[in-house]
Chain A
Amino acid sequence: MADKKHSDHHQEQHWVWKYVFSVDHKVIGLQYLITSFLFLLFGFGLLMLLRWQLAYPGQPVPLFGRFLPEALAPGGVLMPHFYNALGAMHGTIMVFLGMVPLGVGGYGNYILPLQIGAPDMAFPRLNMMSYWVYVVGGILMLSSFFIPGGAAQSGWTSYPPLADISPGQTMWLVAMIFVITSSLLGSINFIVTTLNMRAQGMTLSKMPIFVWGQLVTAVLLLLAFPPLEAAAVLQVMDRVFGTSFYLPTGLVIFGQTLDVSGGGHPLLWQHLFWFLAHPEVYVLILPAIGIVAEIIANNTRKPLFGYKEIVASMLFLGVMSFLVWAHHMYLAGMSSKLSNFFLVTTLIISVPSVAILTCLILSLRGASIRYSVPMLFALAFLPLFGIGGLTGLPLGLTTTDIYLHDTYYVIGHFHYVVVTGSLIALMGGVYYWFPKWFGRRMDDFWGKVHFWGTVITMNGIFFPMFIQGLAGVQRRLYDPTAQAHNLPTQPLNVVSSVFAWLLFLAQIPFIWNFFYSMFKGKKSEENPWKATTLEWACPSPPPHGNFETPPKVYRGPYEYSVPGAKTDWTPQHVET
């Protein structure tokens, strides 16, 4: 309707305003989606080089080695500072430019307004701005590879004093300030949209789990990112203006006394950083849980088990995620008595996660499970996220963390959570909502090839890391063969690397399937999955303004297989 009025009065929009600087949440959603997938691919690509060095330390990188600049990789052999830059940039790009924008900017933008029956986001121009601020941040981050000194090389956690004195870090900080600002703008938009723009009858208790996940995520972003933004500004001050917020008195770097006023404290950064970065874990996981819940409800053809329990758990997770940050710092030098507090909160926060997982698994009971491609991804999420959660236990427990902290065990743990957990779910979401985005379907066969290729190789990469961690292999080692205790498990580095390269290959069917199906895929019906939620109540792809008439909501989100109903799905907007 809005669209018709619009075009009556104006000329047809120029393509630049329609597809590039668009204020339509669907275009912005797809822009976010494709941009963040590209960043994920790039961040993962960096790892191809890094994994070579880990598997075959000191040997020239085959094929690509010759294209690397002499200063970074003489003769194709990675230099240690370049290795550190690859590590830092991999983490930063995957988390801040890949996963968050994908889960929130991509899925949230496209799906959330549709699922609550809104014509657009509450602040469309703000929405466009948050995308473009993110793009600027991303470009700055990538361009840091080309500045003198190279990209940031102090890990994605950027602990000072190392980060205060290492090259490339200023660019990282400036890029991060853009990315954080983008997320803040987006989070305000999501909260206002969810609270104010719901269709008639869409009470909070009728919102799909996906919307709940996005709402809690937005609140976390809004509250957790400002401390990191402040921390980043302080680090810029330390680097550019000679302050010493994070630098104590009397630092001696390679025999030279550092000429700074001192009086700062390195742990200040860690507290501010982890105050963001622990809620950040839930920013990565809640949108994924939302997607998995949608796919499971739809493909089990029955209501989700324990809707209220899941929502309550998500809210509880959101609150608790602000009280656990220092479990990353048991050994950082903070008071060892304080650790007991964070130990207790950390183990408490595992309970709602267990509750959510339990509900999702019990949703399968009494179901009629359709093994569609998105369902395969959603089902794989359950046990693999489970491994991620379980392996958090010995890390969250203070005593066992003494040994396992900063080893490969940690890397294995959080990759199981974020990659085989979140990313698997976010990939499944593509197969699920693709018909909505483009009015066409992705190919099932190549979808299954992608699924099995991805799941098997991911386990091949991350599982050996637990064994390495138990053997005491530390993180972030340029040359894992330099220390005697790391030598016996070195063959596992080769295993991980080979699977990492295979995982890269396994994405080719996905990329091909995505772009081929976008133009040539089988035409889809309006509601191909026979789903109940509102995003399927408008045409695919939805026109500007989404719904022809504002929808009204009569029931909860997952009314499948209602006894006595004509079909096994009863949409939210259909009055019976």
Chain B
Amino acid sequence: MTESNYGWGLPTAASTFAKEIDFGIYLIHAAMFAIFILWGIFFVYLLIRYRARPGVAAKHEEHGILASLIPDFIVLAFELCLIFLYAIPSWSRIKVETPGAQDSLTVEVTAEQFAWDIHYPGPDGKFGRRDPALVHASNVLGLDPNDPSALDDIVTVNEMHIPLGRPTLMGLTSKDVIHSFFVPDFRIKQDAVPGMRIPVWFEPTKTGKFEIGCAQLCGFGHALMRGDVFVHAPKEFENWLVDQKPALNPTGK
């Protein structure tokens, strides 16, 4: 399933805004290609046409300074269109505005050397208090057992399960150094910075398994820092959630 997502071009587009980002990538590459080819033809023409030949002197006079500004203005106009018709509106939709928490699945994602810790609020819908001093191999996020809302919280490592059909709204942070949460299929990337909680959202459009990579150098295990997002049909996701044991009470006693 995963292998087929990835090839030599862009991976499958599996989130609501993936197509929007791809549109920009394709448009810009088409424009780049056209500009390069046109300039290239003109360049090669000049190289051949004006090679040194005996008896033919170079022309001293200079003309067409104003005309030479035409490409500058074409580029400027194209870029202004890109900025105001494409980049700013789409950036606002993807990175500035976030969907409401009540319509979304809310999770807290904490990066560490070299893993992704995914924190679900559990049946009470409230995230428990976390304290760095309580971090331990059996309590990777430092959940506070004295906080009643922490008792039913669910924590998974390197496996993020989310439902199809509604957005996932994450709070992204890091325990130690800067990491970057990157899911190529969703076209989403965001640095995870210790001391900050950065909201990130996406809405999957396909069920399946999608790779999470780390995109910011985070130490000797950077290449091995990976995880998977599992997108389930809504019903299936509810079933998965019910099966999970609370992180502070894994045996369920």
Question: A-side interface residues toward B, CB under 8 Å?
Answer: 79-81, 84, 153-155, 159, 161-162, 165-166, 248-255, 257-258, 265-267, 300-303, 305-306, 309, 331-333, 336-337, 339-340, 343-344, 347, 350-351, 354-355, 358-359, 361-362, 364-371, 379, 382-383, 386-387, 390-391, 393-394, 397-400, 402-407, 467, 470-472, 474-480, 482-489, 560-563, 568
Contacts and interface: CB of A to CB of B under 8 A. Distances in A.
Interface-central residue, A336, A340, A344, A489, by most chain B CB under 10 Å: A336
A383 B43 contact: yes
A470 B136 CA distance: 39
Given A252-B112, A305-B68, A367-B50, A485 B175 contact: no
B211 A488 contact: no
Nearest to B20: A399
B65 interface: yes
Given A309-B65, A399-B86, A336 B91 contact: yes
Contacts of B87: 343, 397-400
A470 B71 contact: no
Contacts of B56: 368
A379 B47 contact: yes
Interface of B: 2-3, 5-11, 20-21, 24-25, 28-29, 31-32, 35-36, 39-40, 42-43, 46-47, 50-53, 56-60, 62, 64-65, 68-69, 71-72, 75-76, 79-80, 82-83, 86-88, 90-91, 94-96, 112-113, 132-133, 135-137, 142, 175-178, 180, 182, 184, 187-191, 193-196, 198, 211, 213-224, 226
Contacts of B62: 303, 305-306
Given A266-B193, A333-B198, A407-B215, A394 B6 contact: no
A332 B224 contact: no
Contacts of A487: 3, 6
Task: Report, nearest first, the 4 A-B pairs whose CB atoms are least far apart.
Answer: A248-B195, A472-B184, A366-B59, A80-B220
Contacts of A361: 39, 42-43, 46
B65 A561 contact: no
A80 B223 contact: yes
Contacts of A483: 211, 213, 223, 226
A398 B31 CA distance: 17
26 contacts: A84-B217, A159-B177, A161-B176, A161-B177, A266-B178, A306-B65, A331-B180, A350-B75, A358-B71, A368-B57, A382-B43, A383-B36, A383-B39, A386-B36, A394-B25, A399-B91, A399-B94, A403-B184, A405-B189, A471-B11, A478-B222, A479-B223, A484-B211, A485-B5, A486-B6, A489-B8
Contacts of A344: 83
A358 B72 contact: yes
Contacts of A404: 25
B226 A482 contact: yes
Contacts of A265: 195
B68 A488 contact: no
Given A81-B220, A368-B52, A485-B213, 7 more contacts: A252-B175, A333-B190, A361-B39, A366-B50, A472-B182, A474-B182, A486-B6
B176 A252 contact: yes
A492 to B, nearest CB: 8
Contacts of B58: 300-302, 366-368, 560-561, 568
Nearest to B25: A400
Contact of B195 (A154, A266, A302, A305): A266
Given A340-B91, A350-B79, A470 B25 contact: yes
Given A379-B47, A390-B35, A403-B21, A249 B195 contact: yes
Given A249-B195, A365-B46, A560-B60, A331 B190 contact: yes
A563 B60 contact: yes
Contacts of B71: 354, 358
Nearest to A340: B88
Contacts of B68: 305-306, 309, 355, 358-359, 362
Contact of B52 (A155, A370, A560): A370
A568 B6 CA distance: 59
Determine which residue in A250, A485, A561 has the highest number of CB atoms from chain B within 10 A of its CB, and name it: A485
A561 to B, nearest CB: 4
B53 A267 contact: no
Nearest to A481: B223
A404 B28 CA distance: 13
B23 to A, nearest CB: 9
A201 B180 CA distance: 57
Contact of A364 (B50, B75, B196): B50
Given A252-B142, A306-B68, A398-B87, A478 B220 contact: yes
Given A266-B195, A355-B69, A387 B36 contact: yes
